[in-house]
Amino acid sequence: MSEPAKWNFRHPLFKIVNLPNLLFLAIIYMISWPSLVNTKSPVILIIVVCLVELYFIIGCLIQNKRRCLDISSILLAFFAFWQYSTKTGRGHSLLMPPMENVLYVLYSHRVELFKGLRSSLELIFWGLGLAIILAVVLGILVGWFVRLREAVMPIVGVISPIPALAYTTYVVAIMPSFKSASVVVIFLGVFWAFFSLVIRTVGTMDQKIVESARVMNVGSVTMIKDVVYPYVLPTALRHLPSSFATAFMCLTGAEMIGASSGLGFFIRKYAEYANYTNVLAGIIFMGIVVTLLSNVIKLIQKRFIKW
Amino acid sequence: MEKIKLQNIYFQYDGTNTPILEDINLSVTAGEFICVLGPSGCGKSTLISILSSLQKPTSGHYYIDGNEVGSPGLERGVVFQHYSLFPWLTARENIVFGIRQSRKDISKKECNQVADVYLEKVGLADYGDYKPAHLSGGQQQRIAIARALAMNTEILLLDEPFGAIDTKNRHSLQKLISDLHEEEKKTFIFVTHDIEESIVLADRIVFMIPKQVYKIIDVNISKPKEYEQMRNETDFINLREELVDLFYRKHKNLSYDQMEAQI
């Protein structure tokens, strides 16, 4: 039986005639179409579309990665669909604003967006940091001592599945300031799941490692500090990006209830004025920020966890 | 001088009625190389667990240098069948970790020096900065042996350490362990189910059948012993035949009395 044909991204014909290139040209062409609503400068849109095309050219045509073809195709298809819908008036002009306008907001409101980001990150830093540190320290202790683990795990099992958003209105109401309420909401959103994870990791620790340490007559402090902690670290770091996303979600929820700054507040404020152009820009900005920071965490993980 | 003494050791897991070890009596002289040989499931590894104090005997007494033993101690180093290095530490750091447990007063620099000496001894002087994931199984076991010896232990307990190693590397590791025993003059207890390995390494072979020590055999072959040189010698062949015979009887599922009657 013959093998299925493999992609040849370096084929001269493919380099010119391919889905991302066609979509790219279609989007550029559609930008020149007259718009039914007032549009801002398309420069930001052109930059974004060119960046995606560049990602395709470098990743797929030069480095031969099929993944880059797929990702750029999806993104450009989405942009093309959006552009076509708004230019032909098929979308609701208020709820589906032109893409140029949404992306232009990222530029025109950059100061406000970055100010909001700074405010959000500050709260995340405290909430997430506190939750992770306490979850790791307490999780290791509870996980290591069997009696403590058996007593605490059923309680954690009840609390950890409760979504943090369920606490949000209550916490915002009882805490003295919005800042402290946000920190508590983020803490609750991240802590229980992380705490439970660390306990389970310690509880199911590879017995070969434990025995290996025990035969060296390792004391409790050394065991926890030099054996259990490094054992738990990769698992903890692996879950950090998802915890970060959860923290952002909790914070946004809290900011949409009672904040006066932050990215969640940015979205809520413009939603109240029915300015969905800015709302969509805020959502896109948030997506970019969470993705970038999650990738930074993954890079740190790769740098430090090499086993 | 008697280094290790096991007296009427019984062992069974909590909540079960089936003993794993029954009435084990063994005396080991300082500097001796003992191989515990027997078929799978006869209790060899449990015996090592008791000797390393990872398990406590249900009854009986265990003495080292005349003192009763109840918990793991720094006078004993253990090398397991499974690879037991800490994956987050390099080969050198693994050895240093062991040294630090036994010698608290030693400086970091001295620790590294001692670790390098032992890395050299096990033939891995150039691999000190490698993480275990980047070492082969045989290399990992060499590091584990180096770690146990660098702790300045008096007794080295090895639980089928070459069980997962290919034949070629196995012979070179046997040579290494034999040389280290000659050099360090420590007491080695080595568990194996490989008959030839036990003859090559041991001063005495403790042959086990399920739950019991069945026979203790002196290996009267002069050292240094190497498999390639020995395999055609009469003493080696005779001893191997004797041990094969013991295995064979076991596999026929004969009772101990029946075995006794046949030997």
Q: Which amino acid is at A145?
A: F
Name residue, tokens 């390098």. B116
Task: Write out chain A residues lying below 8 Å of B98, CB-based.
Answer: 216
Same domain for A116 and A87: no
Same domain for A197 and A147: yes
DSSP strand E in chain A: where?
A: none
Render pLDDT for B101-120 as a digit per residue (tens, 0 to 9). 888 888 889 999 999 999 99
Sign of the Cα pseudo-torsion (B240, B243, B248, B251, in order) = negative
Name residue, tokens 């969470």. A290
Same domain for A153 and A286: yes
Which tokens belong to B3? Answer: 């280094």
| Record: contact A216-B101, CB cut-off 8 A | yes
Reduce the DSSP state of residue B125 to 3 states and report it.
helix
* Best residue of A206, A212, A214 to probe chain B, by most B CBs closer than 10 Å: A212
Asked whether the beta carbons of A249 and A74 are under 8 A apart, the reply is no
Residue B80: which of A208, A218, A233 has the nearest Cβ? A208
Phi, psi dihedrals of residue A93, rounded to the nearest 5°: -65, -25
- Tell me whether residue A187 is in a domain: yes
Radius of gyration of chain B (CA): 19
* CATH code, A228: 1.10.3720.10
Same domain for A245 and A186: yes
Q: For chain A, list residues whose CB is within 8 angstroms of any CB belonging to chain B.
A: 208-209, 211-218, 222, 226-227, 230-231, 233, 306-307
The pLDDT of A80-89, averaged and rounded, is 88
Alpha-carbon distance B123 to nearest alpha carbon in chain A (angstroms): 22
Closest-CA residue of B relative to A209 is: B84
Same domain for A50 and A125: no
DSSP strand E in B101-258: where?
A: 155-159, 187-192, 204-209, 212-218
- Tell me whether residue A80 is in a domain: yes
| Record: contact A217-B73, CB cut-off 8 A | yes
- pLDDT interval class at A77 (50, 70, 90): very high
Q: Which H or E run includes A30?
A: helix A19-31
Phi, psi dihedrals of residue B35, rounded to the nearest 5°: -110, 130
Between A27 and A64, the higher pLDDT residue: A27
Phi, psi dihedrals of residue B80, rounded to the nearest 5°: -90, 165
Asked whether the beta carbons of A34 and A86 are under 8 A apart, the reply is no
Same domain for A124 and A71: no
Whole-complex ipTM:
0.80
- Tell me whether residue A300 is in a domain: yes
User: How many Cβ atoms sit within 10 Å of the Cβ of residue A29?
Assistant: 11
Same domain for A217 and A114: yes
**Residue A20, domain extent:** 12-26+41-96
Name residue, tokens 């693994």. B94
Q: How many domains does chain A have?
A: 2
The pLDDT of A76-90, averaged and rounded, is 89
Interchain contact B74–A (C-beta under 8 A)? yes
- Tell me whether residue A1 is in a domain: no
Q: What is the distance between the alpha carbons of residues B148 and B78, in angstroms, rounded to a whole number? A: 6
Residue B86: which of A215, A227, A306 has the nearest Cβ? A227
Same domain for A156 and A283: yes
- Tell me whether residue A102 is in a domain: no
Same domain for A66 and A174: no
Render pLDDT for A149-182 as a digit per residue (tens, 0 to 9). 999 999 998 988 888 778 878 888 888 888 888 8
Render pLDDT for A99-109 as a digit per residue (tens, 0 to 9). 889 999 999 99
DSSP strand E in chain B: where?
A: 2-11, 21-29, 33-37, 59-64, 67-68, 76-79, 155-159, 187-192, 204-209, 212-218
Asked whether the beta carbons of A98 and A35 are under 8 A apart, the reply is yes
Closest-CA residue of A relative to B51 is: A215
- Tell me whether residue A3 is in a domain: no
Series of mean pLDDT values for 10-residue runs along chain B (263 residues) = 91 89 92 90 90 92 92 89 89 94 87 92 91 91 90 90 79 86 90 89 91 89 71 83 79 55 49
- Tell me whether residue A31 is in a domain: no
Task: Write out chain A residues lying below 8 Å of B85, CB-based.
Answer: 212
Check residue B263 and give its pLDDT. Answer: 45
- Tell me whether residue A33 is in a domain: no
Same domain for A115 and A263: yes
Interchain contact B82–A (C-beta under 8 A)? yes
**Torsion angle (degrees, nearest 10) of CA A259, A260, A261, A263:** 50
Same domain for A272 and A197: yes
Asked whether the beta carbons of A197 and A239 are under 8 A apart, the reply is yes
Same domain for A80 and A172: no
